[in-house]
Amino acid sequence: MEKKRIDDYEPGPVPSPRALDRFGFVKQEHNNSSDAFTKSRSASEYERDERRVRKWRKMIGVGGSDWKHYVRRKPHVVKRRIRKGIPDCLRGLVWQLISGSRDLLLMNPGVYECFDRWLLPKYVPIMLFLIHGDSLQILSVLLLPRYSSAQEALFFMQQLVIYETSASELDIIRDISRTFPSHVFFQQRHGPGQRSLYNVLKAYSVYDRDVGYVQGMGFLAGLLLLYMSEEDAFWLLVALLKGAVHAPMEGLYLVGLPLVQQYLFQFEQLVREFLPKLGEHFTQEMINPSMYASQWFITVFSYSFPFHLALRIWDVFLSEGVKIVFKVGLALLKYCHDDLVKLPFEKLIQALRNFPEDAMDPDTLLPMAYSIKVSKRLEELKLEYEKNNGKLVRSAELGRK
């Protein structure tokens, strides 16, 4: 049977108009937390926000032209301003600048179209990523010479793309409607938002066959598409998973989710050390982080957290790396500590998956998270995990002999 692509489907009916919050999500009658501060904002607060935007524009320069120079001169100012929250009107551009994805895009013009649109430029660059610590070097080599005709080259590329995407295509189509279903951009079945999401995820599945597509990646791509074009979102996804600035994230989505397992081990140890009473209660009730924290790492809080909080976390995540996920997780547990230590298993699981609204206030939660220092301990726990995991692998290999 011939495999269908999302472009083969007709767009569904446009959803009936409904009240939206300031981010484009359908308002929930029982929960208006994301709009709470908007309703009570004074003229002075609006003026303050305008001043913030002007400061950011001056810091960035036209199209980001001054960004690197400013970061070199005043890194502490940049860090402080990012932690306070990037202005929403500049968020898409700043995310590209701090993640390194803008550099990837500029160094590889036209590559996204090769993967996503099946259009072929005169030459096809193949990316070879060489990871050295936290830096990313890209070596582009001209693999294909100029073809005798554009039709011949296009036919070759089409066959290559069709072959390489067959494994992930149906999974992507199946999951698209589950990604931010209450956002106006993604609500129309096979509409512009869902098609853009499909394009980015499919392009990445072609680009990185080791990862391909895994459920959860849609929330990363969907979040990015709300602030940038398909091509920009694709390269930011590449920057994150391949490690353009921080450690690569692709281990979150490889077979067996190896990086998820490492992060959950680290987080469990941190809970025991920073919140010993709660850690002991978790042990007694047989609660482990895989029961409540896996999605925190796989989607960087974009799956179930209030959107206004997720955005603030992503500002810092793209700038400072995954340690903010650990910090926010610990801050949440610390904020709810006194209630959590009293709950039995069933109610504890429910509470860990549905934190109270006051705990989700970014102006309360994030300063608490910033005060938690985990960098050194995370590195120690990573080495411990790798040592223990290496022993398990070697034991398994000896057992097979």
- Identify the band that residue 190 occupies on the pLDDT scale cut at 50, 70 and 90: confident
- In the chain, % of residues over pLDDT 70: 77
* pLDDT tens by residue, 199-257: 999 889 888 888 999 989 999 999 999 999 999 999 999 999 999 999 999 999 999 99
Lowest mean pLDDT among 106-110, 113-117, 191-195, 351-355: 113-117
Please give the backbone phi and psi of residue 226, each rounded to the nearest 5 degrees, phi first. Answer: -75, -10
* pLDDT tens by residue, 277-293: 999 999 999 999 999 99
Q: Which position has the token pair 């692709």?
A: 250
Pick the CATH number of 258-395 from 1.10.287.3510, 3.60.60.10, 1.10.472.80, 2.60.40.10: 1.10.472.80
pLDDT at 318: 97
Tell me the average pLDDT across 14-20: 72
User: What are the residue boundaries of the structural domains of the chain, listed by start?
Assistant: 52-107, 109-143+151-245, 258-395
Q: What is the mean pLDDT of the chain?
A: 83
Please report the beta strands in 23-108, taking only residues with DSSP state E, as ranges in sequence order: none
Tell me the average pLDDT across 294-304: 95
pLDDT at 391: 54
CB-based contacts of 221: which residues, under 8 Å, 6+ apart?
179, 197, 200, 201, 204, 233, 237
User: Do the two domains 109-143+151-245 and 258-395 of this chain adopt the same fold?
Assistant: no
- Identify the band that residue 53 occupies on the pLDDT scale cut at 50, 70 and 90: very high
Q: Which position has the token pair 């077979």?
A: 255
Q: Please, where are the H alpha helices in 208-322?
A: 217-225, 230-242, 258-274, 276-284, 294-299, 307-320
Tell me the average pLDDT across 32-46: 61
* pLDDT tens by residue, 109-145: 888 877 655 433 333 333 333 333 333 333 233 333 4
> Domain 109-143+151-245 is of which CATH architecture?
Orthogonal Bundle (1.10)
> DSSP readout, 94-105?
HHHHHHTHHHHH
* pLDDT tens by residue, 149-166: 445 545 545 445 544 544
